Structure 1
Amino acid sequence: MSLEDEEHASFMMNQGTYCYQVMPFGLKNAGATYKRLVNKIFEKQINHNIEVYIDDMLVKSRITSDRIRDLVESFEVLCAHQMRLNQAKCVFGVALRKFVGFIVSQRSKPRQIKALGNMAPTRSVKDVQRLIGQLAALSRFLVKSW
Structure 2
Amino acid sequence: MFRKIRRYREDKERENEREREREREREREREREREREREREREREREREREREREREKGGEGGGGKEKEAMRERERVPASPLINPYFVMPFGLTNASATFQAEMNHILRPLLDECMVVYLDDILIYSRDMKQHVEHLRSVFEILRGERFYVKLSKSEFTLEKVQFLGHMVSTQGFHVDPKKIKAVRTWKTPKNVKELQQFLGFANYYN
Q: CA deviation at 1:47?
A: 0.7
SS in 2 for 1:52: strand
- Cα offsets for 1:109-135 (capped at 9, x unmatched): 8xxxxxxxxxxxxxxxxxxxxxxxxxx
* RMSD of aligned Cα (Å): 2.3
Report which of the two has the higher share of strand. Answer: 1
Q: What CA distance in whole angstroms lies between the structure 1 residues aligned with 2:146 and 2:121?
A: 18
Q: What CA distance in whole angstroms lies between the structure 2 residues aligned with 1:67 and 1:28?
A: 36
Q: Of the two, which has the highest radius of gyration?
A: 2
Structure 1 residues 101 and 9: alpha-carbon distance in aligned structure 2, compared to 1, 3 A threshold = farther
Q: Percent identical across equivalent pairs?
A: 31
Matched, 1:70 2:100: no
Structure 2, gaps ≥5 residues long: 1-79, 176-208
Q: CA deviation at 1:19?
A: 5.6
- Cα offsets for 1:36-71 (capped at 9, x unmatched): 111111111111111111221101112222010000
Matched, 1:50 2:91: no
TM-score of the pair, normalised by structure 2: 0.43
Q: What CA distance in whole angstroms lies between the structure 2 residues aligned with 1:108 and 1:49?
A: 15
Q: CA deviation at 1:25?
A: 3.1
TM-score of the pair, normalised by structure 1: 0.59
Matched, 1:94 2:155: no
Residues paired across the two proteins, number: 97
Matched, 1:26 2:96: no
Structure 1, gaps ≥5 residues long: 1-7, 11-16, 110-146
Structure 1 residues 28 and 9: alpha-carbon distance in aligned structure 2, compared to 1, 3 A threshold = farther
Q: What CA distance in whole angstroms lies between the structure 2 residues aligned with 1:9 and 1:63?
A: 51
Q: What CA distance in whole angstroms lies between the structure 2 residues aligned with 1:45 and 1:68?
A: 14
Q: What CA distance in whole angstroms lies between the structure 2 residues aligned with 1:32 and 1:19?
A: 19
- Cα offsets for 1:13-42 (capped at 9, x unmatched): xxxx76632221321111111111111111
Contact 1:9 1:19 in 2 (8 A): no
Give the one of 148, 158, 166 matched to 1:82: 148
Letter in 2 for 1:32: A
Structure 2 equivalent of residue 41 of structure 1: 107
